[in-house]
């Protein structure tokens, strides 16, 4: 009788598992390793599919919130306030990366001041003192159909915020006297000496910009001077870690202790920090120089709030052991390219919901990137800087920034994809508006329709609010409620209280629409 085979020909699996008589030990090991890898890949695919199913299941209850508004309106600062409120540890994790940004802000501001001084021959020009501040803004009349109008070309001067270095300034008579009785020639010599001493520090502007942008150059990057992509904080820390790893290893071998902050210091940033420390007194002297103060007072030199903030605090920023405070991070200015998504777990009434907050670039050339995010948005916070009534777009000096905000808000309110979206309006930078009005700056010089109304804060903010409400009423077929807040998003306590109110109103509308209550 025939002895049955251990491997039946009727069983293909058994046959496949039968060792080949020609298979060597090495080949068998390689086959088993290949099979194990195939098994691992298959299991990983199964796990990825499972996680994706779970994510899709959870995301059905997620909230998608868009931050919209023109460049420099305060969107990114508002995003930081959300981060502080709902993900505070993440601020600490990326705190050291903001040091590069703040150093860049300081250097870029100084470079702007020196370029403007050079354009005015490092002195004040007496012959232009009779011109009011409306003549120093921008030459052409706005083509928009909003509320603002620009001064006529015949009375306008160059916008000092965009004067290039080396541009010839107005003629100057050496024998003329400055406002404090000192000779202008003496003041010019002082500024010339400061410029020479600050030249090495000014040379770090481009390397710092390259470090932040990853070498990406965007034309028309504006006063911020550099664009960054989402995730730049992590890349900054990662690059610094790579550069400093060898030093850290050497310290470890020699028995020296290195803290985390020591490890992640970039060599370039360390060099700039040392230069700032040694130049601190020169920076103070330049910032407090009568010519600089005079140009600012006459609105020939215009600085953004972040420039003034860091120059006022230069002693602290230039300290050898400087670590950015939360207030520093809120004031730090950097322009985001594209759309950055931030996810927060928000708890309300015992229910945890993930919020996907999208911070988008507000420059005109980037607004086309907003549209793909409209179709499934749940809520929009539109940020409009009411302090910008005397400012014009960096991309288009003919357009008043209030006009641009109104036009942009009109597009949002009238968009069919957004007709059911919860809409919140932040009339932002009220602190700066108050400061401008306190100096006697007249709204009617820039917005003719303001007329002879009182130039006080309450009248001005209600005037702007009425125009935004009018835009909303004209584009509100679905009778959507517009929630309006007067804000200064660098004020953490006040802003987080408003965020709490916004959160509650968004959840009420969203949960009702989703039939979850």
- Tens of pLDDT, residues 342-366: 999 888 777 788 899 998 876 766 7
211-230 mean pLDDT: 58
Residues 6+ apart with CB under 8 A from 283: 106, 110, 198, 276, 311, 314, 318
Q: d(Cα 262, Cα 251) in Å, to the nearest integer?
A: 11
Highest mean pLDDT among 121-130, 151-160, 473-482: 473-482
Q: d(Cα 107, Cα 117) in Å, to the nearest integer?
A: 15
User: Any known ligand binding at 428?
Assistant: yes
User: Any known ligand binding at 333?
Assistant: yes
| Domain 63-95+337-513 indexed as CATH 3.40.50.300 | yes
Contact 128, 155 (CB under 8 A): no
The residue with greater pLDDT, 217 or 74, is: 74
The structural domains of the chain, with segments of one domain joined by +, span: 63-95+337-513, 96-331
End-to-end CA distance of the chain: 78
Q: What is the pLDDT of residues 291-335, one digit of tens each?
A: 999 999 888 998 988 899 999 999 999 999 999 999 999 999 888
Q: d(Cα 294, Cα 113) in Å, to the nearest integer?
A: 12
Specify the 3-state DSSP secondary structure of 422: strand
Query: pTM of the prediction?
Result: 0.72
The pLDDT score that the predictor gives to residue 75 is: 93
Stretch among 76-85, 172-181, 217-226 having the lowest mean pLDDT: 172-181
Task: Give a three-class secondary structure readout of 336-358.
Answer: ECCEEEEEEEEEECCEEEEEEEE
Instruction: Answer whether residue 40 shows pLDDT above 50.
Output: yes
CA atoms within 13 Å, Cβ hemisphere of 44 = 6
Instruction: Answer whether residue 127 shows pLDDT above 60.
Output: no
Q: d(Cα 444, Cα 461) in Å, to the nearest integer?
A: 14
The pLDDT score that the predictor gives to residue 216 is: 61
DSSP conformation class of 491: -
Instruction: Answer whether residue 414 shows pLDDT above 80.
Output: yes
User: Any known ligand binding at 331?
Assistant: yes
The pLDDT score that the predictor gives to residue 376 is: 83
The pLDDT score that the predictor gives to residue 510 is: 60
Angle between the N-to-C axes of helices 290-297 and 98-119, in degrees from 0 to 180, rounded to the nearest 10: 90
* Residue 69 region by backbone torsions, left for phi larger than 0, else alpha for psi between -120 and 50, else beta: left
Sign, CA dihedral 262-267-269-272, equals positive
User: With pLDDT > 90 as the criterion, what percentage of the chain qualifies?
Assistant: 44
For the chain, what is the mean pLDDT?
Answer: 77
User: Any known ligand binding at 336?
Assistant: yes
The residue with greater pLDDT, 182 or 327, is: 327
User: Any known ligand binding at 335?
Assistant: yes
Q: d(Cα 276, Cα 202) in Å, to the nearest integer?
A: 10
The pLDDT score that the predictor gives to residue 371 is: 79
242-265 mean pLDDT: 48
């Amino acid at each position: 009788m025939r002895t049955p085979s251990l491997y039946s020909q009727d069983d293909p699996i058994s046959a496949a598992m039968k060792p080949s008589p020609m298979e060597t030990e090495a080949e068998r090991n390689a086959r088993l390793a290949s099979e194990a890898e195939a098994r691992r890949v298959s299991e990983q695919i199964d796990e990825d599919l499972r996680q994706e199913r779970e994510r899709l299941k959870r995301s059905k209850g997620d909230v998608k919130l868009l931050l919209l508004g023109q460049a420099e309106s305060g969107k990114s600062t508002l995003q930081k306030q959300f981060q502080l409120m709902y993900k505070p540890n993440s601020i600490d994790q990326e705190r050291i990366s903001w040091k590069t940004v703040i150093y860049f802000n300081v250097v870029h501001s100084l470079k702007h001041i020196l370029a403007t001084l050079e354009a005015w021959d490092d002195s004040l020009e007496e012959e232009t003192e009779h011109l009011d501040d409306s003549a120093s803004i921008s030459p052409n009349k706005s083509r928009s159909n909003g509320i603002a109008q620009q001064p006529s070309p015949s009375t306008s001067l160059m916008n000092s915020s965009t004067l290039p270095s080396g541009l010839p300034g107005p003629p100057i008579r050496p024998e003329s006297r400055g406002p404090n009785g000192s000779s202008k020639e003496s003041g010019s010599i002082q500024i010339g000496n400061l410029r020479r001493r600050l030249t090495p520090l000014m040379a770090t502007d481009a390397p710092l910009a390259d470090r932040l942008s990853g070498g990406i150059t965007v034309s028309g990057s504006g006063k911020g001077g550099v664009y960054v992509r989402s995730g730049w904080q992590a890349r900054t820390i990662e690059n610094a870690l790579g550069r400093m790893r060898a030093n850290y290893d050497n310290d470890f071998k020699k028995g020296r202790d290195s803290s985390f902050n020591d490890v992640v210091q970039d060599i370039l940033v360390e060099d700039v920090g040392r230069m700032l420390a040694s130049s601190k007194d020169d920076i103070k002297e330049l910032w407090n120089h009568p010519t600089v103060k005079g140009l600012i007072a006459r609105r020939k030199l215009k600085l953004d709030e972040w420039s003034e903030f860091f120059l006022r605090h230069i002693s602290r920023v230039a300290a050898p052991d400087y670590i950015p405070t939360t207030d520093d991070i809120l004031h730090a200015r950097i322009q985001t390219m594209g759309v950055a998504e931030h996810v927060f777990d928000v708890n309300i009434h015992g229910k945890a919901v993930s919020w996907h907050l999208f911070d988008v670039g507000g420059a005109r050339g980037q607004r086309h990137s907003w549209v793909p995010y409209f179709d499934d948005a749940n809520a929009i916070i539109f940020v409009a800087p009411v302090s910008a009534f005397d400012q014009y777009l960096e991309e288009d000096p003919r357009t008043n920034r209030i006009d641009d905000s109104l036009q942009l808000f009109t597009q949002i309110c009238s968009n069919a994809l957004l007709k059911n979206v919860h809409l919140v309006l932040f009339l932002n930078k009220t602190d700066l508006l108050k400061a401008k009005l306190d100096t006697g700056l007249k709204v009617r010089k820039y917005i003719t329709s303001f007329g002879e109304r009182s130039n006080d804060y309450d009248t001005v903010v209600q005037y702007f609010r009425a125009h935004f409400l009018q835009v909303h009423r004209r584009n509100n077929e679905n009778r959507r409620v517009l929630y309006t807040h007067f804000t200064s998003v660098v004020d953490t306590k006040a802003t987080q209280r408003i965020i709490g109110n916004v959160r509650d109103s968004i959840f009420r509308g969203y949960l009702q629409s989703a039939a979850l209550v």
